[in-house]
Amino acid sequence: MRHILIFLGLLQFSLPSFGHGPTPQKAKEAITIQAPLSKVWAVLHQFDAIGFWHPDLKKSEGDGKNASGGTRTLTFANNETLVEELDYYNAEGHEYSYRLKTENTRAFPTSSYTVEIKVSPADTLDSSIVSLKSRFYRGDTGNNPPEHLTDAAAVAAVTQFFKQGLQGLKNHIEKPY
């Protein structure tokens, strides 16, 4: 019996340890725009029109459907594309949520994500707050991802995409006509 216990003890230290998979990451950004909520929502309400104001995108195309199941294809500067799909759309609440439908880590270093966007009134009648928050997984969900597909790379990419997009939206809405 003693030999069995010693063997089991040695076996415990000799077995390779297996890491667990990735943990979900999060990003959250917001910006105040000097425009009433109705003007901001007039730009944001069309899910597939992000290409008009997001500087990181060459274009966006979609099915024009602002309801669950609506889709859009984003084309990045490197000509890589992603497809996203609406999960929830609430025009009265000035919010919607969507998710990655087709993964492409050459376009974006995540394997999956969900995003919520909401427009709220700010402290003054002529200002609005646009907030984005996301939950996502890195591009390579294995135990030893390459540097460009790690948690850190995914967090940096999502955060940068949010910041660039919110600033692009602000510039688009606040520009003088």
For residue range 102-152, what is the model confidence (pLDDT) as tens digits?
Answer: 999 999 999 999 999 999 999 887 999 999 999 999 999 998 999 999 999
Report how far apart, in Å, the C-alpha atoms of 139 and of each of 123, 129, 149 are. Answer: 39, 30, 5
Residue 176 is predicted with a pLDDT of 74
Per-residue pLDDT band at 36 (split at 50, 70, 90): very high
Distance CA 15, CA 19 (A): 13
Query: CA-to-CA distance for 35 and 127, rounded, in angstroms?
Result: 5
The set of residues, in sequence order, having a beta carbon less than 8 Å from that of 16 and lying 6+ positions away, is none
C-alpha–C-alpha distance, residues 120 and 147, integer Å: 37
96 and 88 in contact (C-beta within 8 Å)? yes
pLDDT in tens, 129-141: 999 999 999 999 9
Q: Where are the alpha helices (DSSP H) in 29-150?
A: 37-44
* Mean pLDDT of the region 87-94: 97
**68 pLDDT above the threshold of 60:** yes
User: Rounded to an integer, what distance in angstroms lies between the CA atom of residue 159 and that of residue 95?
Assistant: 19
Instruction: Give the tokens for residue 111.
Output: 């394997």
How many percent of the chain have pLDDT more than 90?
A: 82
pLDDT for 124: 81
Task: Please report which helix (H) or strand (E) contains residue 3, including its range.
Answer: helix 2-14
Structural domains in the chain?
23-174 (3.30.530.20)
Query: How high is the mean pLDDT of the chain?
Result: 90
CA torsion 26-114-160-51 (nearest 10°) is: -170
Distance (Å) of CA 64 to CA 26, 29, 50, 69, 140: 28, 26, 12, 11, 32
Answer whether residue 11 shows pLDDT above 70: no
pTM of the model: 0.86
